[in-house]
Amino acid sequence: MLDPDWHHVALTVTDMARATWFYSEVLGLKPVQRPPFDFDGAWYQLGCGTLHLIVHSPSRTVRGTRAIDPRDGHLALRVKDYDATLARLKSFGLECLELPDNLTPWAQIYVTDPDGNVVELNVERSDLRPNE
């Protein structure tokens, strides 16, 4: 029987400069060393695993839209502060879908990276400030 544990997730991007801006500057993820592959990309630490960005312009996995759709495949990241995260995203002029009240036990913010990959940022609803 498999006993899987979190290792990494890979997302396709088409422009490394735009992707680096989003994942490093906007989300504040920390880059880690990546093997010298013959294609562009970046790796970021995510807890005990990593996020792998792979530049692959002809990819069939790039959504072709920046419309935010929470039912589409997405990367979900736990954040510490809902309000601070939302304010940070908006300070970069990013469109956000705010779902502080939904059927899950966590409050959600959805955003897309420059290639349309959907990213969910969430916090336990019990950690929200009382005025939310």
pLDDT digits (tens, 9 = 90+) for 67-105: 999 888 899 999 999 999 999 999 999 999 999 999 999
Inside any domain, residue 83: yes
Contacts of 120 (CB under 8 A, 6+ apart): 70, 74, 75, 76, 77, 108, 109, 110
72/121 same-domain check? yes
Its pTM stands at 0.88
* Domain boundaries, position 117: 68-132
Inside any domain, residue 76: yes
What tokens were used for 52?
């792998």
CATH assignment of the domain containing 113: 3.10.180.10
42/75 same-domain check? no
132 band by pLDDT with thresholds 50, 70 and 90: very low
| Residue 53, φ and ψ in degrees, nearest 5 | -95, 130
Inside any domain, residue 62: no
What tokens were used for 4?
């899987």
Q: How many CB atoms lie within 10 A of CB 69?
A: 14
